[in-house]
Amino acid sequence: MTEGKEVEILRARQLASSLALPIFLVDPHGDRLYYNEQAEAVLGYRFAETGAMPALEWATIFRPYDEQGKPIAPEQLPLMIALTRRQPARSTFWIKGMDGRERHIEVMAIPLVGQAARFLGAMALFWEV
């Protein structure tokens, strides 16, 4: 995971691993780089068992849906908005964790921009409502 990665991403991962808030990190292409232990509890699966994952896979694997039960398109998810528009985004919706449990979550995603305006990816912070 760490070879060839920007130092800011390594620091973001270190920060995520030390906080008691669920955090999910993706690279500039949207590929999942890391999620912390607190996120494992919400997502229903350990990071060590899943590892890195392409954006279109993680954006659909949790089957996000709105209050009316309608599926949410990947491009409408806060983390994808932070990646594509490079602006913060927030939303509340439901997911079905990899453990089969349904969870109502609130997500705040931010783009990660390093020194010299290098786009590094995005980070989502989330919690159960």
pLDDT at 16: 94
Q: Are strands 102-113 and 119-128 parallel, antiparallel or unpaired?
A: antiparallel
Cβ-contact 112, 8 below 8 angstroms? yes
Which residues fall within 8 angstroms of residue 116, CB to CB, at 6 or more apart? none
Question: Beta-carbon neighbour count of residue 73 at 10 Å?
Answer: 11
CB-based contact 81:93 (threshold 8 Å):
no
- pLDDT at residue number 1: 44
* Per-domain boundaries in the chain: 7-14+23-128
- Determine the pLDDT at residue 45: 84
How far does CA 41 lie from the centroid of its chain? 14
> What is Dmax (Cα atoms) for the chain?
43
The predicted pLDDT at position 53 comes to: 82
pLDDT of res. 5 = 63
68 token code pair: 């009316």
Helix (H/G/I), strand (E/B), else coil: 18: helix
Q: What architecture (CATH level 2) is domain 7-14+23-128?
A: 2-Layer Sandwich (3.30)
How high is the pLDDT of residue 115?
A: 87
Distance of CA 101 to the CA centre of its chain: 18
What is the mean pLDDT, run by run of 10 residues, along the chain of 129 residues? 68 93 94 92 86 79 91 93 96 92 96 93 95
How far is the C-alpha of 77 from the C-alpha of 3, rounded, in Å? 29
pTM of the shown model:
0.86
Are the C-beta atoms of 97 and 62 separated by less than 8 Å?
A: yes
In whole angstroms, give the CA distance from residue 117 to residue 102.
38
